[in-house]
Amino acid sequence: MSAETRSRTKYQVLLLLCFLAFNAPAQNTAISLYETIQVGEATYYDNTGSGGNCTISSTLPAWGNDVDFEAALSPTLYASGDQSGGCGTCFVGTYLGTGSGLTPPPAVFTGLVVDQCLGCSTEDLDLAMPSGDGRWDIDWQAIDCPVGNTKLAYLLQGSNSFYIKVGVRNHRIAVEAVQIQSTSSSPYITLNRTSDNFFTCSGCDTPMEYPIPIRILGVNNQVIEDFIPALVNDVLQTGLENEQFLSIDDIIFIDDFDDLGF
């Protein structure tokens, strides 16, 4: 076995061990958005003044200017098996040249999921454009978000020393699950995802001690370890370790032990 192969195998095993440490989080299916081309219709909606169901718009990082549209997903893909698993996913879409209305989308366009479209069929996209009109045939697929060299960020909402509601923001790929270590003597506990794209803890030791260690599992089983810096609500905070996910294409997907060659 070559040194490169040994290193690769060791990395895969470490990823699997980190993944198993998440104590079997809810089955997030957002990975399918990267693996499968969705085919549906594009429509338009007015999200002026709205933070969206994902609670992203009001805290949108600078890279949000590098996507063409904020967008809403159907309830099925918005939830992606875990309340709001599709939130924060970026995508590239293609206009297929057919449909009806006054404003077809660009031939190729990018977007960021910030909301839920209750009237959309499963694979449709609702694009945020107040003046948009029509129903247009498209296909689309999730891609890396254009985060560049920026790092993961965290948003606390209504949190105090005895309760935490934390959102992971500015992630390159969709988030599968989150754990925190609420005190220095506590084990890591897997948090519960909410429908508005946050995570809460129902069994954490209190009072919580900041900075709080946090683990974030990406949909391709990459694990990042970081710290939530301080108990400050409604302010986007960059993690103390300045970490960011690698590309969706850079980590080997691990479905079971057979994928490791055992």
| pLDDT tens for each residue of 26-51 | 678 999 999 999 999 999 999 876 67
Q: Which of 81, 116, 143 marks a domain boundary? A: 143
User: Is residue 36 a part of any domain in this protein?
Assistant: yes
User: Does some domain include residue 250?
Assistant: no
Q: Does residue 124 belong to any structural domain of this protein?
A: yes
User: Residues 177-194: what's their mean pLDDT?
Assistant: 96
Report the CATH number that the domain containing residue 22 is assigned in CATH: 2.60.40.760
Cβ neighbours, 10 Å, residue 40: 20
Q: Of 143, 163, 182, which residue sits at a domain end?
A: 143
C-alpha 11/C-alpha 133 separation (Å) is: 49
What does the pLDDT average to over 222-242?
95
In whole numbers, what is the pLDDT of the chain averaged over residues?
Answer: 87
Q: Which CA distances in Å does 218 have to 48, 54, 107, 152, 230?
A: 30, 17, 30, 12, 23
User: What CATH number is associated with residue 99?
Assistant: 2.40.40.10
* CA neighbor of 231 nearest in space, from 250, 212, 256, 257: 212
**What sign has the CA pseudo-torsion 243, 248, 253, 255?**
positive
In a domain, residue 246? The reply is no
Residues 139 and 45 reside in one and the same domain: yes
Is residue 61 very low, low, confident or very high in pLDDT (cuts 50, 70, 90)? confident
**CA–CA gap between residue 122 and residue 118 (Å, rounded):** 10
Let me know whether 40 and 131 are in one domain.
yes
CB crowding 72-83: b at 16 or more within 10 Å, else e? bbbeebbbbbbb
Q: Is residue 262 part of a domain?
A: no
pLDDT score for 252 = 55
pTM of the complete model:
0.85
Instruction: Identify the residue whose tokens are 């002026």.
Output: 48
**Residue 181 pLDDT > 90, yes or no?**
yes
> Same structural domain for residues 155 and 191?
yes
Mean pLDDT: which of 4-18, 47-61, 195-209, 238-252 is highest?
Answer: 195-209
Name the residue with higher pLDDT: 83 or 24.
83
Same domain, 109 and 159: no
Q: What radius of gyration do the chain's Cα atoms show?
A: 19
Confidence band of 260 (pLDDT split at 50, 70, 90): very low
Looking at the fold, whether 46 and 103 belong to one and the same domain comes out as yes
Same domain, 36 and 134: yes
The answer to whether residues 13 and 41 belong to one domain is: no
In this structure, the answer to whether residues 211 and 227 fall within a common structural domain is yes
- For 111, the domain range is 32-143
Do 19 and 85 lie in one domain? The reply is no
Residue ending a domain, choose from 82, 114, 143: 143
Question: Are residues 171 and 104 part of one domain?
Answer: no
- Would 255 be classed as within a structural domain? no
How many domains does the chain contain in total? 2
Average pLDDT over residues 216-238: 94
Nearest alpha-carbon partner for 142 in 37, 27, 68, 252: 37
Is the model's pLDDT at 19 over the cut of 50?
no
Single-letter amino acid, residue 59: T
Residue labelled with tokens 């370890």: 225
- Does 11 fall in a domain? yes
Does 252 map to a domain?
A: no
69 and 172 both lie in a single domain = no
Q: Are 37 and 140 in contact (CB under 8 A)?
A: yes
- Domain match, 108 and 90 both: yes
The pLDDT score that the predictor gives to residue 251 is: 65
